[in-house]
Amino acid sequence: MSRSTPGRGGLPWRWPVGAAVALAVLGPALGPGAVLTLDAAFVGRIPVPAGMWGLGPELPRRVPLGLVLSWASAAGLGARAGTLLLGAALAVAFVGAARLVGDIGWPTRLASGLVYALSPLLLTRMGAGQWTAVVPFALLPWALPTLLRPGQRPSRTFLWAAALGATGSVGGTLVALVVVVGVVAERTRAALEGVASAALAQLPWVVPALIVGVGSAGHTGASLFATRAGGPFGAASLLAGHGFWRAPTQVGGDGTVGTALVGVGLLALALLGARALPAAWRWRAGVAAGLGVGLAIVKLKRLSGLRVTRKTVTEGLGILRHDAQPPDGQRPEIAAPETR
């Protein structure tokens, strides 16, 4: 294995540093008492998601991991079940990113872990309580080497696809995007076996989603939650992890010249670092990253020249994002996040 190839490598400091990062970010939230945020309510007994059994009207966007979270809270962890899950995810994200860059020196690995785990993308979703996004993004650096080569070991493809898909539609969408890149690159019969394994792993949330989607009254389009990247520096700020639809929740505030420069700087570092990767890995990782940025751009609220495409994509993905049609098609009023 080459120095630049993602691999295991012995890094005994990774987990302690990852735990320290999680402790520094969450702090008092790890203590006793309920934690209420935009999209999560970590209370003494976290309820089982209503969409767990495909009974509706809630879509199964938090299953099956939401059931485990509910059991953990009932078993004695209480509200800490949710905050400990976020803390563990942050540590896993740090270690995974530090591991992914390969054996190229501990300063680079440390920087990679910090840039990923403390990115505005992850921190914003943690602040919003979107653990269904935090967990799969934390697992993604670990799963990439397998999912980008789905046909190499279909059994491992199944396991990683199941791990990401355990959070529901967000993790399942990530699996689909990465596996598609991998199967196009491999173009082998074995790759199709990997695709079948990844698809099979999504059944725990796909089956109830289909049941609810067919039987429920209707669902709002994802355009209500479009990417927010206004101003002359907005698009470049997407590269720095900005663009969350709700401005007060976005870590780092609105896109400014500073965030735009950070985004461009990260892109430059990625391009420079890609030169040290094997050609096959560089191509697959680059296309996967490009797809992620492309989807964020397509979801921009105002994007001339792509209106038809944006509407088609966002309305089509609406069933993956939220549940009920608000009155008169208006954006629902959401109270400011509260933590105590």
Angle, alpha carbons 252-104-119 (nearest 5°): 10
Contacts of 237 (CB under 8 A, 6+ apart): 229, 243, 254, 255, 256, 259, 260, 262, 263
pLDDT tens-digit readout, 111-133: 999 999 999 999 999 999 999 99
| pTM for the predicted model, two decimal places | 0.83
Q: Is the pLDDT score of 199 beyond 80?
A: yes
Considering 26-35, 52-61, 64-73, 205-214, the range whose residues carry the highest mean pLDDT is: 64-73
- Is there a contact between 211 and 54 (Cβ–Cβ < 8 Å)? yes
Element (H, E) at 41: strand 41-42
Q: Is the pLDDT score of 323 beyond 90?
A: no
Q: What percent of the chain has pLDDT over 70?
A: 83
Question: Over 175-229, what HEC string results?
Answer: HHHHHHHHHHHHCCHHHHHHHHHHHHCCHHHHHHHHHHHHHCCCCCCHHHHCECC
Confidence of residue 166 (pLDDT cuts 50, 70, 90): very high
Q: Are strands 41-42 and 35-36 parallel, antiparallel or unpaired?
A: antiparallel
Confidence of residue 188 (pLDDT cuts 50, 70, 90): confident
Residue 163 corresponds to which tokens in the numbers above? 């791990």
Angle between helices 14-26 and 120-127 (to 10 degrees): 50
Name the least confident of 48-57, 248-257, 268-277, 306-315: 306-315
What span, in angstroms and rounded, lies between the C-alpha atoms of 67 and 283? Answer: 38
Phi, psi of 153 (to 5 degrees): -140, 85
Phi, psi of 338 (to 5 degrees): -130, 135
Q: What mean pLDDT is predicted for residues 37-61?
A: 84
Q: Give the pLDDT score at 11.
A: 56
- Is there a contact between 148 and 288 (Cβ–Cβ < 8 Å)? yes
DSSP class of residue 35 equals E
Q: Provide the mean pLDDT of the chain.
A: 83
Contacts of 58 (CB under 8 A, 6+ apart): 49, 50, 51, 212, 323
Q: Give the pLDDT score at 28.
A: 84
What span, in angstroms and rounded, lies between the C-alpha atoms of 331 and 224? Answer: 6
Name the least confident of 48-52, 53-57, 176-180, 318-322: 318-322
Q: Give the pLDDT score at 256.
A: 82
Q: Is the pLDDT score of 317 beyond 50?
A: no
Confidence of residue 301 (pLDDT cuts 50, 70, 90): low
Q: What percent of the chain has pLDDT over 90?
A: 50
Q: Give the pLDDT score at 223.
A: 73
Indicate the burial class of 338 (C-beta count within 10 angstroms; 0-12, 13-18, 19 or more): exposed
What span, in angstroms and rounded, lies between the C-alpha atoms of 246 and 254? Answer: 10
What span, in angstroms and rounded, lies between the C-alpha atoms of 66 and 61? Answer: 9
Name the least confident of 48-52, 153-157, 179-183, 304-308: 304-308
Q: Give the pLDDT score at 220.
A: 65
pLDDT tens-digit readout, 88-108: 999 999 999 999 987 778 898
Q: Is the pLDDT score of 163 beyond 70?
A: yes
Omega cis (within 30) before 154: no
What span, in angstroms and rounded, lies between the C-alpha atoms of 220 and 7? Answer: 42
Q: Is the dihedral of CA 226, 230, 235, 241 positive or negative?
A: negative
What span, in angstroms and rounded, lies between the C-alpha atoms of 43 and 130? Answer: 15
Q: How many CB atoms lie within 10 A of CB 314?
A: 22
What span, in angstroms and rounded, lies between the C-alpha atoms of 219 and 322? Answer: 7
